[in-house]
Amino acid sequence: MENKHRVKQLLLAIGVLVILAGGCSFLPSPAPKPAPEVPAPSPVEPIPGVELLNVNNYKNEPTITVWIADKGYVDRMMLEKYLEGVLAREMEPNWPIEALAAQAITSRTLTLHAIEAGTIRRLHHADVSTSKEELQAYAPELVNENVREAVRRTRGQVLVYAGGLINAIYSSCNGQIAATKEESFPKEIPTPTPYFQPVTDQCFQYAPEKEKNWEVKIPGNEVAAAIGYRGNPADIRILEKGPSGRILTIGAGNQKIFGAEFRKAVGYDRLRSTLITEMNYDGQNFVFKGMGWGNGVGLCQWGAYTYAEQGKTAEDIVKAYYVGADVIKLWQ
């Protein structure tokens, strides 16, 4: 009887162990593997020298003063009204709505950046100018419902990077790769611009032929004069190219200048960009072959057109060109 009692106790103990073990095994369960650590996103560092945007200054849409460059007087209007005239000239008014909306966000940001920097005020005692060379072109007579809708649907929206307004420069056709500040604005922009990166796009899909690949012949003595070189023009070389392939410096001997300065000196319409693929000298003339039209920085308008045709939104488009930037709404 005593042995039977001991067997019963042993069986009971075994049953308890089985229950505690989940009825599967007497071996301890393996320790759960720790979840893999997900690295935290790198914080966007503030840009040295760039003030944080004070959104309290823009609770309401501002009224701005506009230097009407072709007529020589200052006008006053609401900022969104001014933007309509900018869009109508800077883009074709019948372009896809999302491309126009991307231009609206970009131009609104550039407008506020210019106002805060005071660049036009120092020239004309006004907030902005209708001179394309000084800021943005302007043609209120070309405004249509398409343009008005693009401005309406992006009302108050601007681009910021690390809390500060970005310098939202843009161009017509970037040659399918965007320029950095150092390539196109080596002197004009004193602060860093980490949002300008050599991003690629497909702007050639819709851009006109004259903006894709082009060729221009410039006399050797003009090229030498633009550089300030008094020797044989045959000595002149592209000395350095930037991340996107644009000319950083060009020159000969001890004389060299930035590619952007060289383009300005020979004429923006002649040397359509500094994205040069070939430069040859025939003993009398330089033949330049290149791609794109404009400074190539920031938003590419023909690239925006392509993105819009692909179904991208205005916010998608601007974020593709201004790397790391966010879109925020200032006024209702």
pLDDT at residue 39 in the model: 40
Do 216 and 314 fall into the same domain?
Answer: no
Do 231 and 315 fall into the same domain?
Answer: no
| Number of separate domains in the chain | 2
> Is residue 203 one of the residues assigned to a domain?
no
How far apart (Å, rounded) are the C-alpha atoms in residues 72 and 276? Answer: 37
Tens of pLDDT along 54-94?
999 999 999 999 999 999 999 999 999 999 999 999 999 99
> Is residue 76 one of the residues assigned to a domain?
yes
Do 306 and 162 fall into the same domain?
Answer: yes
How far apart (Å, rounded) are the C-alpha atoms in residues 173 and 125? Answer: 32
> Is residue 193 one of the residues assigned to a domain?
no
| Mean pLDDT of the region 181-189 | 95
pLDDT beyond 50 at 42: no
Query: What is the CA 213 to chain-centroid distance, rounded?
Result: 22
Do 125 and 75 fall into the same domain?
Answer: yes
At 269, list the tokens. 């319409």
b/e sequence 234-250, b meaning 16+ C-beta within 10 Å: eebebeebbebbbbbbb
Do 322 and 249 fall into the same domain?
Answer: no
| DSSP single-letter state for residue 140 | G
| Mean pLDDT of the region 178-200 | 96
Domain range for 64: 55-168+298-329
pLDDT beyond 60 at 9: no
Do 220 and 79 fall into the same domain?
Answer: no
> Is residue 45 one of the residues assigned to a domain?
no
In terms of Cα–Cα distance, which of 248, 254, 238, 225 is closest to 288? 238
| DSSP single-letter state for residue 312 | -
How far apart (Å, rounded) are the C-alpha atoms in residues 229 and 265? Answer: 13
pTM of this structure: 0.86
> Is residue 142 one of the residues assigned to a domain?
yes
Do 61 and 164 fall into the same domain?
Answer: yes
Tens of pLDDT along 123-173?
999 999 999 999 999 999 999 999 999 999 999 999 999 999 999 999 999
What lies within 8 Å, CB to CB, of 305 at 6+ separation is 95, 96, 99, 203, 206
The answer for 181, left when phi > 0, alpha when psi is -120 to 50, beta otherwise, is alpha
- Residue of higher predicted confidence among 196 and 38: 196
Do 85 and 64 fall into the same domain?
Answer: yes
